[in-house]
Chains A and B, each alone.
Chain A
Amino acid sequence: MDAAVPVLECRNLSKSYGPVQALSAVDFTLHRGEVRALLGKNGAGKSTLVNLISGSVRPDDGTIRLSGQEVHWDGPGAARAGGISVVHQEFSLVPGLTVAENITMGRWPARGGFINQDRLLVEAQRALDMLGVDLPSWQLVGSLPIAQQQMVEIAKALVDDPEVLILDEPTSALNATEVDVLLALIRRLAATGVTVIYVSHRMKEIPQVADRMTIMRDGREVATLGIEEANPERVAALIAGEVTDVATATFHDRSEAPVALSVSGLAIDGILEDVSFDLHRGEVLGIAGFLGSGRTELLEAIFGLRHDVRGEVCVDGKPVRRRKPRKMLAHRVAMTSEDRKHAGIVPALGVGENVVLTARGRVLPRFWLRGRAEARLQAETIAQLAIRTSSTAQEVGTLSGGNQQKAVIGRALAAQMQVLLLDEPTRGIDVHAKTQIYGLIRELALSGHSAIFISSELEEMPLVCDRVIVLRAGRSCEVLAGDQVSAERILALTMKEVD
C-alpha cells in the first residue's frame, strides 16, 4: 500500500439532528499506524464523528474515503466488513458465553447449524494474539474482571482485521495499572499497522498513547496538534473555547444563610473518600468532575440509594441515618436521576400524573385521589415550569427531552421539596431548553430552594452555580465560589492529576 495515501480521509462531514447541528464541515485525516486522540466536551461532536465513520449514522454532507476509495456505509455491519471497527464505552458482551464465543459472536463458524468449536477457538485465539494478551478463551466472560472484559471487547473488534479501530473511552472502567497495560497494547497494535482513533477525557493518557490529537468543539474541528505541541493548559482552553458568561451578576453568597443539607465524611470504598460540604438555603452548589469521579455516587449516597456508605448527612441540622429515598423525601430532599428515560419519567402516564407522583401522600391525600386538588396542582406545576404539552393527559414519553426534564423537576416542586439533587438535568436536551432549565434552577434558588447541580458540561457551571466543588478520583479537592467559577478553571482542576 502506498504510504502517502491516508487510511481514512473525511472531507466536509456534516450532520444535523433537527435544529441541532451536531457536526459541521469536519475534515479528518488519518495515516496508517497512527494513534489519534479525539478530545472534546460532551456534545462537541466526537460521538457523531465516530458514528459517521463507523456507519451507524449517515452524513448529511461530505465524503469518507478509506484507503482512497470513497465509501458509503449502509450500517455498522458494512463498516465493520469494510475495515472499521468500534469498541463502544458500554460493553456489548454476553456474560454467559465464553471468551472465544464472545469474540467471534455473530460470525460463529458452523456447518449444518452445528458450531465448529475448533475453528471458533482458532479465530478467537488469532484475535487475542493480535492484541497480544493471554486470556483463557474457554472461560465465561461474566467471571472475568472488568479489565479483562475490556480486552475481550477489543479482541472482538479485531476479528475482522480492521484497518481503523475506534476506541471510545476504553479506560473509563479501569484502574491505573490496568490503564498502563491497555495503553501498551494499543501502541503495539498501532505498530502492526492498525490505525487507532482514541476517544478519551483523561489528559494523562493522551501523551502515552497518541501521536496526534484532534480537539472538537460545537461540532467543529478546532485544532489538530502533534502530541509534543500540546500542553494541558492549551488543550483545556481549546476544549472549553470562548465562554460567554451570562447573568453571573445574579449570584449570591449564601454562606451566611442557614445550612439546609450538610454532608460530612461521606465515603464509599473505592469510589468516594471523605467528602464534606454544607449546602445553604437558597444556594446552588455545583459538583464538577469527570465521569467516574464519583459525582453520581455522591448524590446516590445522600439520597439513600446505596447501602455501602459511611459518613453523615444532616438535613436542617438533624442527622438522617439509614437513609432511603422515601425517608429523604419526607425530609423534603428530592433527587432527579441522570437517566431520565429509565429512572425519571413513567413514559406511558400523562404529564400531570407524572408531576404528582411524589406529591401523593405528601401534599395530596394518602388514599383517595382528590380530583380537583390534583388537577389544580398538575395545572399549576405545568404552568409554573412552562411545560409544553397539549394537555395534562398527554403521555410524557411523547414530549421533548427538555419538557420531560421539566416534568421530573416539577414532580419535586409539586411535592414542595426544599433540597433538589439534580444529576445531569440538562443531558440530551436542546440549547433552548437548557437555558430554560438554568433559569428555572436560579429562580428556585431565589425562592429559597437549595440545589446540588451536576453536569458534564462545565460551561454550565458558571451559569447556574453559586459555588462549585471539584471532585477528583472520589475526593472533594477545590471549592470555587462566585467569580472564581469559570469553565476553564474547573476544567483545569478536574484534569489535574492526583499524585
Chain B
Amino acid sequence: MKAWDGIGLLTVLVLLYVVLSIASPYFFTMDNQLSILQNAAFFGIVAFAMTLVIVSGEIDISVGSMAALSSSMLGVFVVNHGVPMPVAVVLVIGSAALIGAGAGAMRAYFGVPTFIATLALYLALKGLAQLLTNNFPMPIDSERFFYWGDGRVLGIPVPALYLAATFLVLVIISKKTVFGRSIYAVGGNAKAAGLSGINVRRIKILVMMIVAITAAITGLLQTALLASGNSTIAVGLEFDAIAATIIGGAALSGGKGSIIGTVMGVLFIAALLNGMVLLSVNPYAQQVVRGAVVLAAVLVNVWRTRKSSLE
C-alpha cells in the first residue's frame, strides 16, 4: 500500500471515531474499546488471512460455514466421543486445513475458480455442520476452554490477543517471507511469476489453507464464548472479512492489498457496528449501512486505480 492510501483510510477511521465519540459518551471508554477489539476478533482473524487470499487473486466465501462446521465438529468430538479437548482442537484445525487445501488444489490443478469451489463449500460445509449436530447446540463443559473465548489477560480480552497475534504473524509472513512476497507476484501476474520459478500452485493452495485455518480458529473462539458446539454461528462472516479487506484497499483482481490496510478496515467495521448499537440504530438499517459502506469502499478503490493508471 502506498503511504497516501494508508493516510486516507486512517483519516476516515479517525473521523468515524470522532463522530461516534461525540454522538455517544460511552463510545470512547476503555471498556467499550476493549469490547470493540473482542468483537473485531470474530471476523478480523479471518479478514487478515482473507487479505492474502484476495491479494493472490482468489477468494473464499465458505469461511462462515467452515467456522460453523469447526464448532460442530468440536462439539461432536468432545461431547459424543469424549475426545480430550486439545486433541479435538488439533483434529478440527487439521480438517479445516485439509478442506481449504482441497479448495486451493481444485483451483491449482483443475482450474475451478475459487469463487465456485467455495460457493459449493459454503453450502456443503453448512449442511455437514447441521448434519453432525442435528442443528442443536451441544453444550461443552470445560472452564479452561471457556477462558479462550471470554477470559482476560491483564484486563485484555483473550480474543483481542488472538487478533493481535494473527495480525503480527500474517504481517511478518506477507512482508518478510519469500512466500509472502510470492503471493503478491502470483496475484499481480501469475504467468510471469510461474516463469520466474515461483510455484504458483503451491502458493494458491497455501493461502486457501491458511484462510480455512483462521476460519476454524474463529469457530473455536465462538464455541468457547457460547460454551457449546453450534452449527448456526458465524453467519455472514465472509461478508465482514471480505468487506474489511476491500475497505483496507485490496483489489479483487489480485496483486494489491495489505494486512495493515485490512487492520484499519477491521477496526472501521467493528467501530461502526459498535457505534450503531450504542446509538440504537434499527438492526435492519444497520445492514443497509454495512452494505453501503462496502459499495463506497469499492468505488473509492476503483476511482483510485483509475487515477493512478492515468498518471
Interface residues of A (CB under 8 A from B): 325-326, 329, 335, 337, 342-349, 353, 357-358, 360-362, 364-369, 398, 411, 415
Contact = CB atoms under 8 A, between A and B. Distances in A.
Contacts of A362: 197
A361 B178 contact: yes
A364 B175 CA distance: 16
A349 B192 CA distance: 12
A34 B181 CA distance: 58
Given A353-B181, A361-B178, A367-B177, A345 B189 contact: yes
Interface string B165-203: 000000000011111011011001101111111110000
A360 B199 contact: no
B135 to A, nearest CB: 42
Contacts of B204: none
9 contacts: A343-B191, A344-B192, A346-B255, A353-B181, A357-B182, A357-B193, A358-B196, A367-B178, A369-B176
Given A329-B197, A343-B189, A369-B177, 8 more contacts: A325-B197, A343-B191, A344-B195, A348-B188, A349-B255, A360-B178, A361-B197, A367-B178
Given A329-B197, A358-B196, A411-B196, A346 B188 contact: yes
B176 A368 contact: yes
Contact of B188 (A337, A347, A364, A366): A347
Nearest to A395: B308
B107 interface: no
B126 interface: no
Nearest to A412: B196
B256 A343 contact: no
Interface string B43-70: 0000000000000000000000000000
Interface of B: 175-179, 181-182, 184-185, 188-189, 191-199, 255-256, 311
A326 B199 contact: yes
Nearest to B189: A346
A343 B200 CA distance: 13
B196 A357 contact: yes
B116 to A, nearest CB: 18
B110 to A, nearest CB: 16
Contacts of B256: 348
Given A326-B197, A326-B199, A368-B176, A360 B181 contact: yes
Given A360-B178, A367-B178, A369-B178, A346 B197 contact: no
A353 B195 contact: no
Contact of B192 (A329, A345, A364): A345
Nearest to B179: A367
A386 B182 CA distance: 25
A343 B176 contact: no
A358 B197 contact: yes
Nearest to B255: A348
B185 A349 contact: yes
A322 B182 CA distance: 24
Contacts of B199: 326
Nearest to A305: B195
B172 to A, nearest CB: 9
A415 B196 CA distance: 10
A349 B188 contact: yes
Contact of B191 (A326, A342, A348, A358): A342
Contacts of B182: 357, 360
B248 to A, nearest CB: 16
B177 A368 contact: yes
A367 to B, nearest CB: 6
A364 B196 CA distance: 14
Contacts of A345: 189, 192
A366 B178 contact: yes
Nearest to A398: B311
Contact of B195 (A343, A347, A364, A366): A343
A342 B192 contact: yes
Contacts of B192: 337, 342-346, 357
Contacts of A342: 189, 191-192
B5 to A, nearest CB: 13
A366 B199 CA distance: 12
A346 B193 contact: yes
Interface centre among B177, B184, B192 (most CB of A within 10 A): B192
B215 to A, nearest CB: 25
B60 to A, nearest CB: 22
Nearest to A362: B197
A344 to B, nearest CB: 5
Contacts of A353: 181, 184-185
Contacts of A349: 184-185, 188, 255
A205 to B, nearest CB: 33
A368 B272 CA distance: 37
Contacts of A326: 197, 199
Nearest to A335: B195
A344 B195 CA distance: 8
B181 A369 contact: yes
Nearest to A417: B197
B193 to A, nearest CB: 7
A329 B195 CA distance: 9
A337 B191 CA distance: 10
A358 B311 CA distance: 29
Contact of A368 (B178, B184, B188): B178
B189 A365 contact: no
B184 A346 contact: yes
Nearest to B172: A368
Contacts of B196: 329, 357-358, 411
A353 B186 CA distance: 13
Nearest to B253: A348
B177 A357 contact: no
Contact of B194 (A325, A369, A411): A325
Contacts of B197: 325-326, 329, 357-358, 361-362, 415
A335 B256 CA distance: 26
Given A360-B178, A369-B177, A346 B185 contact: yes
Contacts of A415: 197
A366 B188 CA distance: 21
A358 B195 CA distance: 9
A111 B198 CA distance: 53
A454 to B, nearest CB: 15
Contacts of B311: 398
A354 to B, nearest CB: 8
Contacts of A348: 184, 188, 255-256
B56 to A, nearest CB: 12
B256 to A, nearest CB: 6
A368 B196 CA distance: 18
